[in-house]
Amino acid sequence: MFTLSVLTDEIDQDFAHALDVAEEWGLHTVELHKLWGKNICDLDPDELTRAMRMVRERGLQVSAIDSLFLRCPIDDAAAYAKHIDILERSFRLADLFQTPLVRCFSFWRQDTLAQHWDLLLERLELPVRMAARAGVTLAFENTKTTLVGTGAEIRQLMLAIDSPNFRSIWDIGNALVAGEDRPYPDGYEAVRPWICHVHVKDAVRHADGSSAWRPIGGGQVDYRGQLTALQRDGYHGVIALETHYQPEGGTKEQGSRESFAGLRNILDELNLRWQ
């Protein structure tokens, strides 16, 4: 059985309203990225207290702390030092919200992965050791805008790091727009042994390499194949909606409602259970 979740800012920056919608959808788990226009790691003590109380009073679980760790230039030592501070704060937040997962990235995309490979491994050694000491899993997300975007690249990174505290948020939609021709099944099979968490969004990729977000079921991602494979392979973790889709002239909430309905329709069609 899957656990469905949603990044609350994909509904609204108004945290209370986002939680209202999540509960309306029957969700018991949410993911924290941006609240009231700030990343979760940037909340002041009053805002953090409010957020904790709102989650607790509704009886909700938090699936991950979506920090922006390592969304910075790889060759900027000062920026890297600041991001280590962000990571330490992320660990404290994970403890406060009782979640084992802290999201991380792989620096802004510059040139090619091969050109920055050795430095990437060097930069990740300290964070992975810190995560192990904190009892936290660094949940690595693939994106087009960072050095590692596809399932094949994730596999390369996971084999090199080789730590139980460094695992993958598999984002099949991000893999598509990053240029992976068949994120399912090829990308998924590459990354499958390291998946600890799943983000879902849909998109179309054009011949010129450009892309556009679509509601789930309305793009090129094979969600019927992907969700069936996750069930077949015994994945019982979180599937979190991170739609990015916003209809023309509409709102993020409208896009997320459309995407959640699309996800539910596919799950129902496949007779896949969720909570």
Q: For residues 115 and 162, what is the distance between their CA atoms, to the nearest angstrom?
A: 21
Does the structural domain 3-269 have CATH classification 1.10.340.70? no
Residue 170 CA, distance from chain mean position: 7
pLDDT value at residue 31: 98
Q: What is the pLDDT along the chain (275 residues), one digit of tens a residue?
A: 999 999 999 999 999 999 999 999 999 999 999 999 999 999 999 999 999 999 999 999 999 999 999 999 999 999 999 999 999 999 999 999 999 999 999 999 999 999 999 999 999 999 999 999 999 999 999 999 999 999 999 999 999 999 999 999 999 999 999 999 999 999 999 999 999 999 999 999 999 999 999 999 999 999 999 999 999 999 999 999 999 999 999 999 999 999 999 999 999 999 999 99
The beta strand positions in the chain, using DSSP E, are 3-6, 29-32, 34-35, 38-39, 61-69, 101-104, 137-141, 166-171, 195-200, 202-205, 211-214, 238-241
32's tokens: 């924290």
For 69-107, b where at least 16 C-beta lie within 10 A, e where not — what string? bbbbebeeeeebeebeebbebbbebbeebebbbbbbbbb
Q: Where are the domains of the chain?
A: 3-269
Q: For residues 194 and 83, what is the distance between their CA atoms, to the nearest angstrom?
A: 24
Q: Which of 161, 137, 145 is nearest to 105 (CA)?
A: 145
Strands 238-241 and 195-200: what pairing? parallel
Q: For residues 218 and 11, what is the distance between their CA atoms, to the nearest angstrom?
A: 19
pTM attached to this predicted model: 0.97
